[in-house]
Structure 1
Amino acid sequence: MTELFNGKGGLVSGCIQCIDRAGVDFVALEDPKLVSPPSPQWHVVAALGTLKGGRADWLVEKCAELGASSVTALLTERSPSISENRVDRLERVILAASKQCQRLHEMVVHPPTKISDVLPKVSQSKLSFLAVAEAPPLMSALTSLELKSDGLLIVGPEGDFTAKELKQLTEAGATAIGLGPNRLRVETATIALLAALMLSSDAQQTT
């Protein structure tokens, strides 16, 4: 007995009859079913453009493994662009990671987005966390907040956001949070924040 999934929530049980160079013969033993996405759904918005080598790939791969619903490359004054070739590569990384960790709902890569276009999403979001150096600790914020059905996780570039960008995001409704005393790289901050929120949401659902 094995299961097949399509990355869109579809799941079907069956058995493999034959494997050869042409492909796999699979016989379904029941009707396909549609599984709802897990909650809460976290949407990562991070400044990937400044990341060198395979660091952006690593960030996106781990976001997929941890269950993020989507990833958006954030364009800021200190991270103004990201190449189309890199975006295409990130989509391939997500597909491979989704298969490896058996995600029923594949993570989405959104087109690169400017902060001005993120602000309405922050205003409309039920919960938005903004990683900022020297901000109040994340865990302190979590003790006073109930995790909603979805939210935004916003991480700036190396060198952090400008004062103007921070003001725009916080005035739109983002909650500034800190991730410890050390200055973290973009990918480290993103994964630390996402992992903490995924564990906290799991804890809330089981209590």
Structure 2
Amino acid sequence: MNLILLSPDDIGADHYARITDTRRLKHLLEVHRASAGENFSVGIQGGNMGKAELVELSSEQAVFSLNSLEELPPPPLPVHLVLALPRPRMLARTLEHVTTLGVKEITLLHTKRVEKSYWQSPELRPEKIYQHLILGLEQAKDTLLPTVHLRKGFRPFIEEQLPALLAKGRGLLAHPGMPHACPRGISDKTLLLVGPEGGFIDWEVEQLLTAGCEGMHLGPRILRVETAVTALLSRLF
């Protein structure tokens, strides 16, 4: 936890922030080994960051005195990530990784090679998704929560959502065997589409290319989804 991320509900009218949940308290007590009088990096969800003094710490609550919070969060990446829904354990790690890297718009998509059972996973409950996003923000020292969309139909996505998304920026389809290598160091607003383990099927690739996406690859190696997404974002931006 590189940032103590506060929700508006943590902050009282007296400008003191009070933390009572087990996870953050345990981290302060066992990892930071914090004590009253120390200053910590804090941020308000959706707002600014700065330093705050820990004035009280017990097993029941931590109280921070909020000083001037004038530091802006880091700039987001200009990307909307469309990701074929991964296996639940991989989904958890991937959400944390891409949040840490600065992705603010995420669409989880059903494709042919996505197991239907994945959509029943507890990892897709709003509170679980929120937890992974918060962990990513705390790691990166960021306060701006990503938005996550769930799209359970590939054809409706192609016909109803994709045209509007492509109208906002460049569409890049990451898929093995595409003729062009992944570009480097771009700054344009981008829609990045990444398939599941095993990749998109040929029909899905054809539909995405026909819709206006540009095919690209990361080389001859076949990567796990969480590795591929991290490599793509690092190379692109």
TM-based fold match above 0.5: yes
Q: Report whether the alignment pairs 1:15 with 2:53.
A: yes
- Unaligned residue ranges in structure 2 (runs of 5+): 1-38
Following superposition, the deviation at residue 122 of structure 1 comes to 3.6
When normalised by structure 2's length, the TM-score is 0.69
Aligned-residue offset at 1:106: 2.3
Task: Say whether the 8 Å CA contact 2:83–2:196 is kept in structure 1.
Answer: yes
1:150-173 CA-partner distances (Å, limit 9, x unpaired): 322111122322222212212222
1:3 to 38, 41, 66: 41
Give the percent of matched residue pairs that are identical in Structure 1 and Structure 2.
26
Quote how far apart the aligned CAs of 1:19 are.
1.7
After superposition, the Cα gap between the structure-2 partners of 1:121 and 1:162, relative to the gap in structure 1 and judged at 3 Å, is: farther
RMSD of the TM alignment (CA)? Answer: 2.6
Larger radius of gyration: 2
- Match of residue 174 from structure 1: 213
Instruction: Give me the whole-angstrom Cα distance separating, in 1, the residues matched to 2:72 and 2:79.
Output: 18
**What residue in structure 2 maps to residue 47 of structure 1?**
84
- Give the 3-state SS of the residue equivalent to 1:159 in structure 2: coil
Q: CA deviation at 1:181?
A: 0.6
Equivalent residue for 2:105, pick from 70, 74, 81: 70
The count of corresponding residues between Structure 1 and Structure 2 is 191
Report the Cα distance in structure 1 between the residues aligned to 2:204 and 2:124, rounded to whole angstroms.
24
| TM-score between the two structures when normalised by the length of structure 1 | 0.77
How far apart are the structure 1 equivalents of 2:74 and 2:147? 13
Query: Structure 1 residue 95: deviation in Å?
Result: 1.7
* Paired residue secondary structure (2:57): strand
Structure 1 residues 32-111: aligned runs within 5 Å: 32-33=69-70, 35=72, 38-49=75-86, 51=87, 54-79=89-114, 81=116, 82-83=119-120, 85-88=122-125, 89-111=128-150
